[in-house]
Every structure is written in C-alpha cells, then in structure tokens.
C-alpha cells in the first residue's frame, strides 16, 4: 500500500524533461475577465446612457424656457387669412322658390265669324291698349247694319201715320164721331209701333257692335306672342286657339312660397308703418339680382298638403330681366337687426363642445374662443355671413381660412393678397383681389 501511494504522489523522474517551455509574446493566450469586472463594465455603460438621457431632457426643458440664454425649438408660423370682426345692421330675409308670372295675360280671340282680311301686328311687338291687331271682313256686318237702319225707318213711318190717326180719332171722340173702342184700338197701335221702333234701334246697336268686333284691337299694354292665325283664314267666335296671346311685362308679378311658420312674422311686419315689404328676385344660381319689388298679396289660405303659403310680389321690371314662366329665388326682407356682430361663415368651426372661432391675439398666436351663433332659420342673413350673439367683439381679428392647420397657441402668419392660402374663402379672396386692382390703378 505504501509503495502504491508513493507511486501516485511522486512524478516520474523523467516527467520534467517532457514539460514544454512557457509561451511568450504573441503566442501567449489572452487573459479572461472575471465575473466581477464584467459587472463593473455593465454598470458604467448604464451610467453613461442615463447621463445622456438626463442631458437631452435638460436641453428640452431649456428650450421651453424664455429669456436670455434659452434656445427655443418652435414650429414655423402657419399662414392664414384673417379679417376683423365687424358690427353693422344686418337685413333678415325669408327665402323662397318663386315663379315669374305676367301681370296680365290675354288671349285675343275673334268675337264674330268671318275671314281674316289683315294681320296688323308683328310677333314679339310691344302694343298698347287700342292698337289694331287684326281685321275681319266687315262687309257682311255693314250690310246687316244697313238692313236694321232701313227696318227702323219703315217702322218709324208707320208710327207717324198711326199717331196722325190717333189725333184725328181723339178729335172725333170729343164730338162723338168715333166710339171709344176705335180710339183705344188706334192708341194701342201707336204704342205697338213705338215698341217696334225701339226694337229696330236695338237691332241697329247690335249690328254696330258686330261691325266693331270685326276690328280686333289690343285690350292691354303688353307684348305679343307667336301668331296663332294667318291672314286669309276663317275664324269663328267659338274658336279656342285665338289669334295671339298678349302678356303684360311692365310691371310683372313673382309668386313664391314660404313655410307656414313665417306667416306670423310677415303679418306683424305688414301691419307696421310700411306694409309693403321689399322683395328681391335672385337668379337660380343665387348670384345675380334680377329685380327689386314690393310684397303685394298674401294668399288667403295655407296649403294643407305642403304646410306652405303663397305670396305675390310686384316688380317694375323696367329692364325686362324677369320673364313669365321663369324660376327664380325670392328674398323677402323681413326686418333689419341693428348693431349685430357679423363674421363670414367660414370663421365658424364646429367641435365636440359646440361652435368656436380662432381669434388672433396681439402676440400673433391663436386661441379657440367658444361662440354663440344666432339662429335665424327659417329667416336668413346675407349669404356668406353669420350673426354672433356671444363670444366675439367688434375689431377682433379672426381666422377666415387655414384653420385646419391650427391648434390652441399656434403662431400664425397673415397671408397677403398675392399669397392666397389654401381654403381661402371666395369672398375674402375677391375682396383682396379688388383691393390689389384698385391699388394698381392708383
């Protein structure tokens, strides 16, 4: 056992001779880091990252500070179009769909039968009451008149003879030369002939009227339409087509409809000092004013099927811009509100909390201002404008176009006339363009 132990513990005698010499220089293996050194390196890296984050936050906080030495990081100003809030008198209108109607329309027809000898008008001609339009052959009616006159002369001669006999019978009756019966018979004959003569005069008057009907004249002032009959044709009093249609264009009527809930306000205004409310006729595209008139008639009943009421206005139509059958928009001036705060419609924005507007402050930043818009429906103010009951004051500047890029506190840059920003309202653009043109002329 001792020998075996000694053999295990004691190296062989020649073992030292087989041991390789130690490696030096580039052949030496790299030392390995221990677990403690690796933990120290990781901690140092974390400290470096934390320091970088802290430094970045410090710079951001310094950018938000104002004053010398601060380095602000701001967004560029947003270009917008702005207008001042104005205070003025605003007309309140009631708008309705309207149809233009001729003030008077007459279909001229023949009142006697006969052949048309002459057409005395030109299609589309302006005529006056009494102007000749057509002539029907008058010869048959002249003959009838002559016959009536001759018949009256015959009956007047018989009447004269009967009156002479009646006078003679009266003298004889006083001397008892004739009986009372003979006298009464003669007196009755005289009365009968008087009635006959009166009937003859009525026949003469009728023949004159028929003769006058052969000359067809215009009953009103107006304009002729298309000719419905040609010269040489036979016409009859029973014909339905007529000869021509005449329409009176000066003045002219405009009939329009409004909701029944507006009736009370209209009646209240018509009972005032000026019952003739102004009415403006506007083209279908709502851009051109075609005429200005006065309210003439309020219909005496409301249509139960549509809950609307008809109204009629009268227009002078001196320039003939209104034409019968034309569809237009009628704007009834109901009242005028004094001293209203007014802004363009594009100023009003809608949000979860209601209507608001972007107001430009003195430092060229914007704030969102809650506003209250006047509810005028079914009445309306001037197109493109709204009345503000609360939230804005006259003189404040509000953003008209470019709001989609704004938020509370945004810095803005006012766009000039040449740089119309996106979304600029046509009304603002037109006003700025006209200002630029006027400056160029000056």
Q: Which two tokens stand for residue 92?
A: 């309140």
Phi, psi of 423 (to 5 degrees): 80, 10
Q: What residues contact residue 207 under an 8 Å CB cut-off, 6+ apart?
A: 141, 144, 145, 147, 148
Q: What are the start-end ranges of the E strands in 345-429?
A: 349-351, 354-360, 366-370, 372-373, 379-380, 385-390, 397-401, 412-414
User: Which pLDDT belongs to residue 159?
Assistant: 93
CATH topology of domain 84-100+248-429: Elongation Factor Tu (Ef-tu); domain 3 (2.40.30)
User: Which pLDDT belongs to residue 440?
Assistant: 42
Q: What residues contact residue 359 under an 8 Å CB cut-off, 6+ apart?
A: 366, 367, 368, 369, 392, 396, 397, 398, 399
Report the alpha-carbon distance of residue 195 to residue 186 in Å, rounded.
15
Identify any residues that bridge with 33 across adjacent strands, giving them in sequence order. none
Report the alpha-carbon distance of residue 245 to residue 232 in Å, rounded.
19
Closest to 250 in 3D by CA, of 198, 300, 293: 293
User: Which pLDDT belongs to residue 275?
Assistant: 76
User: Which pLDDT belongs to residue 44?
Assistant: 77
Report the alpha-carbon distance of residue 255 to residue 394 in Å, rounded.
39
- For the chain, which residues score pLDDT lower than 50? 1-31, 33, 62-71, 417-442
User: Which pLDDT belongs to residue 16?
Assistant: 40
User: Where in the sequence of the chain do the CATH 2.40.30.170 domains occur?
Assistant: 84-100+248-429
Kindly report, residue by residue over 17-39, the tens digit of the pLDDT: 444 444 444 444 444 545 567 77
CATH number of 105-244: 2.40.50.100
Question: 10 Å Cβ neighbour count for 310?
Answer: 17
User: Where in the sequence of the chain do the CATH 2.40.50.100 domains occur?
Assistant: 105-244
User: Which pLDDT belongs to residue 35?
Assistant: 59
């Amino acid at each position: 056992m001792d020998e075996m132990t000694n053999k295990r513990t004691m190296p062989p005698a020649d073992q030292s001779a087989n041991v390789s010499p130690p490696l030096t220089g580039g052949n030496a293996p790299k030392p390995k880091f221990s677990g403690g050194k690796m933990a120290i390196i990781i901690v140092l890296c974390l400290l470096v990252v934390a320091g970088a984050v802290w430094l970045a936050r410090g710079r951001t906080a310094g950018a938000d500070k104002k004053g010398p030495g601060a380095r602000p990081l701001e967004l560029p100003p947003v270009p917008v179009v702005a207008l001042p809030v104005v205070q003025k008198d605003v007309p309140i209108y009631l708008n309705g769909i309207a149809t233009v109607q001729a003030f008077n329309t007459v279909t001229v027809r023949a009142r006697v039968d006969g052949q048309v000898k002459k057409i005395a008008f030109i299609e589309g001609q302006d005529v006056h009451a009494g102007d000749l339009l057509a002539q029907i052959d008058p010869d048959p009616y002249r003959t009838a008149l002559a016959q009536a006159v001759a018949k009256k002369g015959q009956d007047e001669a018989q009447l004269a003879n009967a009156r002479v006999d009646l006078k003679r019978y009266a003298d004889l009756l006083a001397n008892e030369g004739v009986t009372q019966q003979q006298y009464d018979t003669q007196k009755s004959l005289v009365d009968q002939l008087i009635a006959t003569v009166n009937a003859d005069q009525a026949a003469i008057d009728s023949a004159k009227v028929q003769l006058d009907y052969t000359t067809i004249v215009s009953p009103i002032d107006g304009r002729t339409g298309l000719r419905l009959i040609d010269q040489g044709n036979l016409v009859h009093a029973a014909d339905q087509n007529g000869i021509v249609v005449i329409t009176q264009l000066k003045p002219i009527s405009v009939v329009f409809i409004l909701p029944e809930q507006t009736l009370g306000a209209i009646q209240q205004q018509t009972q005032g000092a000026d019952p003739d409310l102004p009415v403006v006729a506007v083209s279908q595209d709502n851009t051109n004013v075609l005429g200005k008139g006065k309210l003439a008639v309020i219909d005496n009943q409301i249509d139960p099927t549509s809950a609307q009421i008809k109204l009629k206005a009268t227009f002078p139509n001196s320039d003939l811009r209104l034409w019968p059958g034309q569809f237009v928009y009628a704007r009834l001036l109901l009242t005028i509100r004094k001293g209203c705060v007014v802004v363009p419609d594009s100023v009003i924005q809608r949000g979860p909390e209601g209507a608001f507007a972007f107001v430009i402050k003195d430092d060229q930043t914007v704030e969102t201002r809650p506003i209250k818009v006047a509810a005028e429906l079914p009445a309306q103010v001037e197109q493109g404008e709204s009345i503000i009951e609360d939230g804005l004051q006259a003189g404040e500047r509000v953003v008209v176009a470019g709001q989609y890029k704004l938020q509370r506190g945004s810095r803005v840059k006012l766009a000039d006339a040449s740089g119309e920003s996106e979304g600029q309202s046509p009304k603002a653009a037109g006003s700025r363009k006209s200002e630029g043109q006027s400056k160029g002329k000056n």
